[in-house]
Amino acid sequence: MVRTAKVCWTLAPLLYFSLQVFVASAWPVPYELLHHTISDLGWTTCTVEQRLSGTLASCSPRHAWFNLGGIAVRILLAAGGILLKPLYAAATRRVIAGWLVIAGFGIATCLVPGDVNPALHALLAIPVFLGTVAVLFASARALSQTARFAARAATVTAVVSLVGVLGLIAALTGHGPVGLTERLAAETIYLWVFLTAVWPDRAGVRAGERQV
């Protein structure tokens, strides 16, 4: 189970970030990491808006790729989190519930692009941000005895994500770049799952094999 989880968690970040590059490369206008949101890549229409950072044009011809690929990424994330349960020394239900929240609401944001229903999209995104912070802190605790590197890395990335959430709140009121703070809030977890997947953890793998 643990080996399969690590495969899922190796693929998820690679797919997620390569998908962003693939989609953004087709934009006829510049995609600005500091100011465009992640969700802008999934917008189904081309628009020019007056945002807090100024006039910002968005046009994503490959939006369907991003939205469909985003669903696949969330499934891989959740599958990896659930299959990693042999390593959870504590808080198993809370950790798994956290992965399901992130995956479920993340998929929902892909099904409801931000230009189709901005209010609903934003509402669906809130549990993703909060769930990311919560699941990282919960994973840090649950893995502290069985996968110490992963636990320590989860703590660090949880703090970064929390700072990102606070920064995003400030940015939405005009104090800071929305794109950058959103990425700190939502994307740090991809770095953690990748490091957890590729970091050698023979004891953890053996524990997982015993429970297959």
Look at residue 122 in the predicted model and tell me its pLDDT.
Answer: 93
| 8 A C-beta contact, residue 42 and residue 24 | no
In the predicted structure, residue 163 carries a pLDDT above the cut 90: yes
Confidence of residue 154 (pLDDT cuts 50, 70, 90): very high
pLDDT (0 to 100) of residue 91? 62
* pLDDT of res. 161: 97
pLDDT tens per residue across span 172-201:
888 889 999 999 999 999 999 999 999 876
- Dist CA 137 CA 21 (whole Å): 29
Kindly report the average pLDDT of the chain as a whole number: 89
Question: 88 pLDDT band (50/70/90 cuts)?
Answer: confident
Q: What is the DSSP letter of 184?
A: H
pLDDT band at 142 (very low <50, low <70, confident <90, very high): confident
Distance set, CA 113 to CA 60, 160, 183 (Å):
12, 26, 17
In the chain, DSSP finds a helix count (H) and a strand count (E) of 7, 2
What is the rounded average pLDDT of the residues 143-156?
89
The residue-averaged pLDDT of 90-114 equals 87
Q: What is the CA radius of gyration of the chain?
A: 17
pLDDT at 89: 66
Domain ranges of the chain: 2-210
